[in-house]
Structure 1
Amino acid sequence: MDGTLFQTDNILELALDDAFEKLRSMKYWTGETPIAAYREIMGAPLPKVWETLLPEHSMEVREQTDAYFLERLIENIKLGKGALYPNVKETFEYLTSNDYSIYIASNGLTAYLQAIVDYYHLDHWVTETFSIQQIDSLNKSDLVKTIKENYNIQKGVVVGDRLSDINAAKDNGFLAIGCNFDFAQVDELVHADVVINELLELKTVLSR
């Protein structure tokens, strides 16, 4: 979802600023909001995000921050402050009209993912959305394996912007398509089977 279908940048800084402003008001944080540090780990499960951004803070503070951050993200989505990447719906329409099934496998939390799906009516094309919350290991490869087994998928493609997506494809015997979008990193994309710069390129890649 993030960095592949949804332009998280549009709401990320707003929600992160809100979360760290609350920490500052509670005397748990001084200084600027660590936007740059978050960008480096974008796509990681949120528990790992807070371990990184708040290494000296208690689990209770991390959990409170996580809950408030999620609340602010969802509110911003509902207010229409987010955006899909260009041609998401057009690409989905092409895929479903050519008998592809679409599943979302994300490190985002269930409520957050559902807010995006609902606001943009993605369930018109997407068969099911899966959250890392459903997997005890918090491992994207295990999440994709769950989808593969639940739907008895023999051939598939994983499209994503981070190494966890590429590894999830390869660990499950699927084609790995890397998205050279906002949060992508060159040293990770080199492991993909194919790299695209825009979602509509999937039409050409898959037709091969």
Structure 2
Amino acid sequence: KATPTTNHSIHITLPLDNTTLEMVAMNALLVLTLLLAVTCYCAMAGDPDITTDFVVPDGTMASGNFFTFTGLRSVVRGGAPPTAATPFKVTKVSQVEFPALDGQSVSMAVLQYAPGGINPLHTHPRSAELLLVAEGWLDVGFVDTANKLFVQTLQTGDTFVFPKGLPHFQLNRDPKYPAVAVSAFGSANAGTVALPKALFGSGVDVGVLAKSFKTDGDTIQKLVAAATTMGY
């Protein structure tokens, strides 16, 4: 016959002094602060969120027309391609051109390159860029924060991502045929900082630029003159 057993385990609760209680409270407060900081960072990492389905500007009626953008019709139909005088052309579909994108965290652009055309070094401070080559070939590249260069030659149908905020470029090296690409952004207004214009066409003092690039003022003046005549 089995003999029942009895659990004689003893639980001892030690009293916590004031110092221990203060340490527990401080640790809890620290964890709460860190969680709050991470939450705020994640909330601010993209476009501000909205609490409605969409945003309609005052005085605008929400209809099918409001959610339709027709500015790419001429591009798709082959009108006004880039030329030797303007070897690169971009048609943006951002919140500025298409107000229905406000709060939707998405936008796009169609990029057209004449033979030999280039989209010079630039950055998008508020979004990464996902580029699809729709026609032709493109040499693309970006530079990371460790000053490492990443380059690739893309064929029609290839896709390439430019990480958020990093300097990057696209070049149509073909001397005879144009190229077309479509870019998507994770922001309604990704922003564009064209580095040649930002550095040499924004009015930064020539002396500052000369010292920054360890060159003379005449060289900087030539770069300033070139930047102020850029068509993009």
* TM-score normalised by structure 1 residue count: 0.26
Decide which structure has greater strand share. Answer: 2
